[in-house]
Amino acid sequence: MIRNILFDIGGVLVDLEVKRTLSAMKHFIDPQLAKQNNMVTADGLLGGHDSPLIDLYQTGEISTEDFMRQVLSVCMPGTNSDAIKAAWYAMLLGSSREVQILWQRLQEKGYTLYILSNINDLHAEWVLENCPFMDEAKQRFFSNEMHLAKPDLRCYQYVIEHAGILPEETLYVDDLLPNIEAGKAAGFQTIHAVGRGWRQQLRDLPNMNPNNYPLTCLGH
């Protein structure tokens, strides 16, 4: 029986469009300088795990100040930290009303909700400021705080141990297949969040709350 739901953030709870950041970064990054810096890729920092800088930042091995310093070192003259931050935030589109209502309905059905996300300091600050419903999670597990990132199996074992949950009673929702496969290896039930069908799967979960009190609506 499913009692817990463990959510990823980017691509699940928060709509994500990485191309927006890539496009914005291309206005600042000097490709020749980037080629000379083995920490930063010339395509604008991202592109899977081709950038060691991103891996270090999302596991909390470097600070935001260090991250900014590395990025600015391969930028064109006149680029400042504010421009980099704006580009870095550009990929985050926010959480839809549909997702917020789904979160609320799952809570009211009696499920315990958790979050597990590969995230960095700047994005974590943005998410917590702009998506306050995530404060209602029983626990949040962020890669920059755990110093572990998905799909490392230790990430899931950390969650199981620190949340005190049984993986077979936990439904894990993520948009990336390698993460889903790692979650399965850790014993979780899983939903691969692609398209829109995954939301209906969650809506169809049975009511676990014996009180079955009426569902409230979010404000307009």
Token digits of residue 213:
């009190």
pLDDT digits (tens, 9 = 90+) for 153-165: 999 999 999 999 9
pLDDT digits (tens, 9 = 90+) for 29-64: 887 887 777 666 545 455 444 568 888 999 999 999
Give residue 45's pLDDT: 56
Cut 0.85: pTM above it: yes
Centroid of chain to Cα 142: 8
Residue given tokens 């899983």 in the structure block = 190
Q: DSSP assignment of 72-96, as one string?
A: HTTBPTT--HHHHHHHHHTTEEE--
